[in-house]
Structure formats: C-alpha cells, structure tokens
Amino acid sequence: MRIKHKNKSIFLDRDGTLIKAIKKSKFKYRPPYNKKELKIFEDIKFLKLFSKKYFLIICTNQPDLKRGLQTKVFNNFINNQIKKKIPIKDIFSCECLKTEKNCNCYKPKTDMILKAKKKYKISLSESYVIGDSWRDISLGQKTGCKTILVERDQNKVIMKKKIFKPDFIIKNFRNLKKIIK
C-alpha cells in the first residue's frame, strides 16, 4: 500500500542563496571562510511566512570541508547565524568532492532530498527547491519538486539556467508569496 506523505518542504540552497557566495574564479564561487566574509541576505526573512506550512530544510554541498579550506567550526557558525534569522528545520550537507564515485549526495545527486523525505515524510510534489544554480534546479527536477531560481548578483550571467529551466525565477524572497501559497 502506498502511503501519502503529508508534510511539505521548501528545500533551500545555502551559499549564494541565503548568504553571499565569494567569487573565486570566473564562474566559481565558494562559501565565506570567516566572519568578515559572511553576509546573510536580508530578504531571507520573508521565508518565515512559510515556515508554518513548510519545513525549511537546507541542502548544501560543502566540499571545502574535505579540502581543508573551510573549518567545521566556521561552517557551523554560518548555519547557526542563519538559524537565528529563519526557523530552519534541518540541514543536510554533502561533504564529498564532486568527483567521488560512491557519493550520492553532491547536488544534483538526490540523496539529501531523499533522506529528508524519509525522515520527515515529505510529499515532494508539493515541495519546492530554491537555489541560485543549475545544480539546485536539476536536483528539484530529478526529485519531482517545483523549482525556483533566485537571481543574485553572482548568477545573472550564468546561461545554464536557460537549459535547466526552473519553474519560477524570483529576484528576491519578497516575491515568493506570489508563488507559494
């Protein structure tokens, strides 16, 4: 028998979506490594409107932990600062490198969302993935969620969004209420 899951979620990318990503080369960005670099986007406060109906769950690739470029301490600090602004239900992190063969979680691989689905009994077709990169959009499409690309300074030029067509594009989280009821 198939059990219908009732809970809904908004899956959120972290770097470049909730906080400013730091440019490292033409198309590559990294997380902030220290307090001076950390900037949480103001408009994420609008996510609070949805936290009664949706679990706000972060899904984030964090390969720099393994590379030794980011510390666990600062990575946790970032997460805790975000939690002070919006009620985050859970955080799923992939700490693998993109090239690892037996990793199933590096976005757009789907493990983080599938784990969240199981843990919180989430109906994915009624859930959303919001992010700033094609990886987030692809992840959402593969898992049957609705997809929202948030335009931030760093992704305006990324052409890939034209290939990985998101269901919606927003300039700011303020605009979310037009999309999510």
Q: Binding residues for Zn ion, per CB under 5 A?
A: 94, 96, 103, 105-106
Q: How far is the CB of 60 from Zn ion (least distance, A)?
A: 11
Q: How far is the CB of 154 from Zn ion (least distance, A)?
A: 23
Using an 8 Å Cβ cutoff, are 43 and 85 in contact? no
Q: How far is the CB of 34 from Mg ion (least distance, A)?
A: 19
13 contact, one of Zn ion, Mg ion, none, CB 5-8 Å limit per kind: Mg ion
3-state secondary structure of 176: helix
Please say which residue, 15 or 95, places its beta carbon nearer to Mg ion: 15
16 contact, one of Zn ion, Mg ion, none, CB 5-8 Å limit per kind: Mg ion
94 contact, one of Mg ion, Zn ion, none, CB 5-8 Å limit per kind: Zn ion
| C-alpha dist (Å) from residue 22 to 53, 54, 65, 160 | 32, 29, 16, 19
Please say which residue, 133 or 143, places its beta carbon nearer to Mg ion: 133
Using an 8 Å Cβ cutoff, are 145 and 127 in contact? yes
Using an 8 Å Cβ cutoff, are 31 and 72 in contact? no
Please say which residue, 58 or 105, places its beta carbon nearer to Zn ion: 105
Contacts of 114 (CB under 8 A, 6+ apart): 143
Positions touching Mg ion (CB under 5 A) are 13, 15-16, 132-133
Using an 8 Å Cβ cutoff, are 44 and 109 in contact? no
